[in-house]
Amino acid sequence: MPRLNDSIPALDLVELSDNSPPELLTQARQLLLEYGQFVIGQPAAAQFCYGALEKEAAGLPQSFQEQGGGALVGLLKGVPAGFVAWRLAPGHLAETSWELKRLWVRPEGRGTGLGQALTRAVLERAAAAGRKALYLDTVPSAMSSAHRLYLAMGFVPCGAYGDNPIEEVEYLVKFLWNPVNQAG
């Protein structure tokens, strides 16, 4: 398929499964751990639990599949450069919503549209699954680029829906229009 702008690197998204090649799972785990290392290095996110993230990484892809979700790796010219996961939203929200987790793009992938592509892919999966909303939490002072991306993609502030111990956390939601959700 011809590309509109050859200066934009080729982006591919791969959903992790039990059948994913071991080297892809290893790279996905590394991306997830890089995300955690970045977060713990941010003063605003001092209460982040890296140990829980290490367990998530070790259990990929089941760690998110067991929570009603999944995970994607973003490739730039065939090289893993981004990661995102999702799961059922906590509590009563689980009936109708998912929660976006762990969006991470390596420095060399920033500005390429990879973060937006990963987020959009989760939004599309949520809508196709009949979810009414996608929730997330973020720390704007630590992850300003991601925060700007979420707002530009239509996420809006919402009330706290979980028990995130990080003081500067902001909760966001994007309500999804889906004909399946609108029927009845």
* Order of strands, sheet of 97-105, starting from the edge strand that comes earlier in the sequence: 11-15, 70-76, 79-88, 97-105, 133-138, 170-175, 156-157
Stated pTM of the model: 0.88
Residue-wise over 89-119: b if at least 16 C-beta within 10 A, else e? Answer: beeebeeebbbbbbbbbbeebeebbbbbbbb
Question: Is 3 a domain residue?
Answer: no
CA distance 53 to 70: 15
Whole-number pLDDT of residue 1: 34
User: What phi, psi does 2 have (nearest 5°)?
Assistant: -65, 145
User: If we measure between CA atoms, which residue out of 66, 67, 103, 68 comes closest to residue 85?
Assistant: 103
Contacting residues for 127 by C-beta, under 8 A, at least 6 apart: 176, 177, 178
Kindly state the average pLDDT of the residues 61-75: 97
Residue 56 — pLDDT band, cuts 50, 70, 90?
Answer: very high
List 136's β-bridge partners, or say none: 172
Question: Is 6 a domain residue?
Answer: no
Residue 100 — pLDDT band, cuts 50, 70, 90?
Answer: very high
Question: Is 173 a domain residue?
Answer: yes
Report the CATH number that the domain containing residue 175 is assigned in CATH: 3.40.630.30
Kindly state the average pLDDT of the residues 71-92: 97
CA distance 10 to 141: 30
What is the extent of the structural domain holding 42? 11-182
Q: Output the CA–CA distances (angstroms, integers) from residue 88 to 98, 132, 150, 151, in the order listed.
A: 4, 12, 19, 21
Question: Is 4 a domain residue?
Answer: no
Residue-wise pLDDT tens digits, 113-160: 999 999 999 999 999 999 999 999 998 988 899 999 999 999 999 988
Question: Is 2 a domain residue?
Answer: no
CA distance 73 to 102: 11
Question: Is 34 a domain residue?
Answer: yes
CA distance 184 to 182: 6
State the first-to-last Cα distance of the chain, in angstroms, to the nearest integer: 40
Kindly state the average pLDDT of the residues 84-105: 96
Question: Is 5 a domain residue?
Answer: no
Whole-number pLDDT of residue 3: 37
How many structural domains are present in the chain? 1
Looking at per-residue pLDDT, the higher value among 69 and 4 belongs to 69
Question: Is 60 a domain residue?
Answer: yes
Whole-number pLDDT of residue 42: 76
Residue 8 — pLDDT band, cuts 50, 70, 90?
Answer: low
